[in-house]
Amino acid sequence: MHDLKDLRTRPDYYKEGLSKRNKELVHLIDEILILDQKKRDIQTKADELRKRKNEIASEISRSKDDISKVETLKSESLTIGTTLADIEKQEIEFSFQLNEKTMWVPNTPSSDVPFGEDEKNNKEILQWGTPRTDKWIKPHWEIGQKLGILDFERGVKIAQSRFTVIAGLGARLERALINFMLDHAAEKGYKEIFPPILVNKDAMIGTGQLPKFDGDFYKCENELLYLIPTAEVPITSLHKDEVLTPEQLPIKYCAYTPCFRREAGAASKDTRGIIRQHQFNKVELVKITSPETSEKEHEELTHNAEEILQKLELPYRKSILCTGDIGFSAMKCYDLEVWFPSQDTYREISSCSNFGSFQARRINIKYKPNQKDKPLFAHTINGSGLAIGRTFAAILENYQTEKETVLVPKALKPYLNGLEEIK
RNA sequence: GGAGAGGUGGCUGAGUGGUCGAAAGCGGCAUCCUGCUAAGAUGUUGUAGGGUCAAAAGCUCUACCGAGGGUUCGAAUCCCUCCCUCUCCGCCA
């Protein structure tokens, strides 16, 4: 969410920022400005009437003995009350509309984000490792089924399509990856959190999942709780309505959680394998920082995610997303994509975003640079470190042997009792 | 799930219909003072939105005592609904 006062003072800055994402968003700014003006006008009117009502109330209390005066005042107050009720209705309506509209406006991209309409314009920054191109490498779902560690049929049997059972050494590998990644994060100074997996609507609004993407998530209607689509949601909201001190910053959290996404609108995408599941595991890295250090912390967080791929010796590339492809709440975002030999391409495995004060403003996370300063909004940053299921799949392919087995990456052996090979 | 108690400013805690945005204490901030420290004195001290202003400061208005409704000229205070916390009982991994 944007700062309305700032938006009022320099609307062109916001228009320009939004036009880089999508030209069709620009009109939102003018609509907001009009609504904002209407809301302020009506608020001024309402405030004046409320003021008069307050005056009358204290006048009555001061002149209780003068019965006729009191009666006159009472009736004046009642008359004002009728008018006020009507105006307040409008006030509420305008505030609602204004808030509603503002909530739908995405963050403005940072000035160093490359311009472009869609993912084709994302800019590759680096490639790491040497991609394998052996033609005999089987897709992860084939080798996974052959090895008896991925069971797609039974996943469907007990749940639905896009739910998969991981069995035996597969389950062990999944768990090893979680522990390995959490340990890596801890080593880098991230405090481990195990949050609730169901969160309320406020948390979903805070990080920007709602209102725009309603329908993408599983919700418990009777409790008004949502299954988290990412640990970003509960972790970033941990400090909701708090004013932090400079000594507390930067706050660094990591969390393993299952994540749940309905994947509506992805009907024909990645129907095979475990790349796109309704339920998947992920280790998430989250930071809360001051505006001064957020850029540096964002780079560092991205690097921390890269280190995991490096330790696992999985070839990957790093790109900066262009203005048209960047997520709703983000001002800048790096994608890490891991190599999939069977698909002869890189696939996203981590998305590391700097949100500026966009989320903090919604969640109300502030910090005081000094004791006497006014509280300012903090910056929030997050990224996957990493998506477990996709890492699992990448290992199945990148570590595959011609004998239809999968070697265990060196870094994971301690987590699998020294196991060398899944066969 | 049942019964009871309660939710007030950064914290502790008073306040049961009328200058209460809220006493007091603690904490914070500023100044002063004692040779330094510790202690002390005085003052100050929330958030959000609006208006005024070129802007900031200032001044001013409105709202906020868990949330939302209601009663009333007037609500922290009375009524209703919901949420949360605590105690007891029940159930349970």
pLDDT in tens, A338-376: 999 999 999 999 999 999 999 999 998 988 887 777 788
Contact between A269 and A343 under an 8 Å Cβ cutoff? The reply is: no
CA of A49: nucleotide with nearest C1': B62
Query: A60: which nucleotide lies closest, measuring CA to C1'?
Result: B73
Q: List the A224 CA – B16 C1' distance (angstroms).
A: 36
A135 touches strand B (CB under 7 A): no
Cα(A237)–Cα(A181) distance, rounded to whole angstroms? 22
Task: For residue range A404-413, list pLDDT tens digits in order.
Answer: 999 999 999 9
Rounded distance in angstroms from the CA atom of residue A221 to the C1' atom of nucleotide B81: 20
Domain count, chain A: 2
Query: What's the whole-number mean pLDDT along residues A156-161?
Result: 92
| Whether A243 and A321 share a structural domain | yes
CA of A332 to C1' of B90 (A): 54
Is residue A195 one of the residues assigned to a domain?
A: yes
Domain check: are A33 and A146 in the same one? no
pLDDT tens profile A37-78: 999 999 999 999 999 999 999 899 888 778 888 889 999 999
* A138 and A84 within one domain: no
- Find the Å distance, CA of residue A58 to C1' of nucleotide B32: 41
pLDDT digits (tens, 9 = 90+) for A276-311: 999 999 999 999 999 989 999 999 999 999 999 999
Asked if residue A244 belongs to a domain, the reply is: yes
Residues A195 and A333 both lie in one domain: yes
Residue A25 covered by a domain = yes
Average pLDDT over residues A192-206: 91
One domain for residues A148 and A83: no
Distance in angstroms (rounded) separating the CA atoms of residues A219 and A106: 23
What CATH number did the domain enclosing A13 receive? Answer: 1.10.287.40
Instruction: Answer whether residue A32 is part of any domain.
Output: yes
Q: Which bases on strand B have an atom closer than 7 Å to a protein beta carbon? A: 18-19, 28-30, 47-51, 61-63, 73-74
- Domain end call among A74, A103, A132: A103
Q: Are residues A187 and A257 in the same domain?
A: yes
The 10s digit of each residue's pLDDT in A96-120 is 889 888 988 999 999 999 999 999 9
Q: Are residues A276 and A338 in the same domain?
A: yes
For chain A, give the mean pLDDT.
Answer: 93
pLDDT, residue A242, reads 86
Q: Is A334 among the domain residues?
A: yes
- Domain co-membership, A174 together with A98: no
Q: Which of A149, A195, A209 is nearest to A405 (CA)?
A: A149
Q: How confident is the model at residue A177 (pLDDT cuts 50, 70, 90)?
A: very high
Using the CA of A47, give the nucleotide whose C1' is nearest: B62
Cα A149 to Cα A48, A116, A146, A313, A392: the distances in Å are 70, 41, 8, 22, 11
A372 Cβ within 7 A of any nucleic strand B atom? yes
SS3 A201: helix
Chain A 53..112 CB hits on strand B (< 7 A): 53-54, 56-58, 60-61, 64, 73-74, 77-78, 81
Pair of tokens at residue A125: 């920054």
Quickly give A41 CA vs B23 C1' distance in Å.
38
Residue A284: what pLDDT? 98
Same domain, A96 and A144: no
CB of residue A44 closer than 7 A to nucleic acid strand B? Answer: yes
Do A273 and A141 contact (CB within 8 A), yes or no?
A: yes
CATH number at residue A312: 3.30.930.10
Domain final residue, candidates A103, A132, A162? A103
Residue A24 has a CB neighbour count (10 Å cut-off) of 9
Verify that A328 and A212 share a domain, yes or no: yes
The answer to whether residue A114 sits within a structural domain is no
> Is there contact between A171 and strand B, defined as CB under 7 Å from any strand atom?
no
Q: Is the dihedral of CA A183, A184, A190, A193 positive or negative?
A: negative
Nucleotide nearest residue A370, measured CA to C1': B29
The whole-number pLDDT of residue A222 equals: 74
Q: Do A96 and A135 lie in a common domain?
A: no
Give CA–CA dist A169/A415, Å, rounded: 12
Degrees, nearest 5: CA angle A266-A110-A186? 75
CA-to-CA separations, A69 to A143, A166, A220, A228, in angstroms, rounded: 90, 81, 57, 61
Of A62-76, A153-167, A376-390, where does mean pLDDT reach its minimum? A62-76
Q: Which of A103, A138, A161 is the last residue of a domain?
A: A103
- Say how far residue A135 (Cα) sits from the centre of its chain: 37
In a domain, A112, yes or no: no
Q: How far is the CA of A64 from the C1' of B20 (A)?
A: 20
pLDDT at A246 (0 to 100) = 84
Statement: the CB of A370 is under 7 Å from strand B: no
Q: How far is the CA of A37 from the C1' of B75 (A)?
A: 32
Does A110 reside within a domain? no
Is the ipTM of this structure higher than 0.90? no
Q: From the CA of A80, how many Å to the C1' of B30? A: 44
Residue A32: which domain range? 4-103
Task: Examine the domain organization and report whether A92 and A234 are in the same domain.
Answer: no
